Amino acid sequence: MATNRYNTKTHYNYGSAAPDIYREVQKPHMPNTQRRKQLQKQNKEKKKADFKRRFSYFISIVTVFIACAAFVWGCAVLSEKQHELKTAKSEVQQLKSQVNTTKSLIASATNLDHIKEVATSELNMSEPLAHQIVFLDIAKTSYTVIE
């Protein structure tokens, strides 16, 4: 009757006597050996459950760590490749500039007016006289091209 008198869902106590909170829970009567075996079995099951839970936590943490490490490694590789690409682009730009400079030098060097000016001013050359000109007969099978 005392157990029905107290409402265990609320903290309000009906009546003048406080419930005995230190009362030991009544367990079914078992011999000590059976109770010990049952407790050992419960402890083993609890340890197994705890081990499984902890192992799953460990696996989760390791998986997250590996994923983070892979992400950082991927970012590092990407950064390195971007740096290499930037370096290669600057080298290509430099080589294009060098090619354009060389082309302009070749174009100016093969200009006949420039050649004549350099020959007369820097090398002190003059046009050949009539007795200095020699004509050659070149066969059609020759590798030289005459225009």
Whether 42 and 51 have beta carbons less than 8 Å apart is answered as: no
The domain spans of the chain are 2-125
What is each CA distance from 46 to 81, 119, 129, in whole angstroms?
52, 104, 118
Whether 6 and 19 have beta carbons less than 8 Å apart is answered as: yes
pLDDT in tens, the chain (147 residues): 445 555 456 666 666 666 666 665 555 556 678 878 888 899 999 999 999 999 999 999 999 999 999 999 999 999 999 999 999 999 999 999 999 999 988 887 778 888 888 888 988 888 888 888 888 877 666 565 555
Residues 6+ apart with CB under 8 A from 115: 109
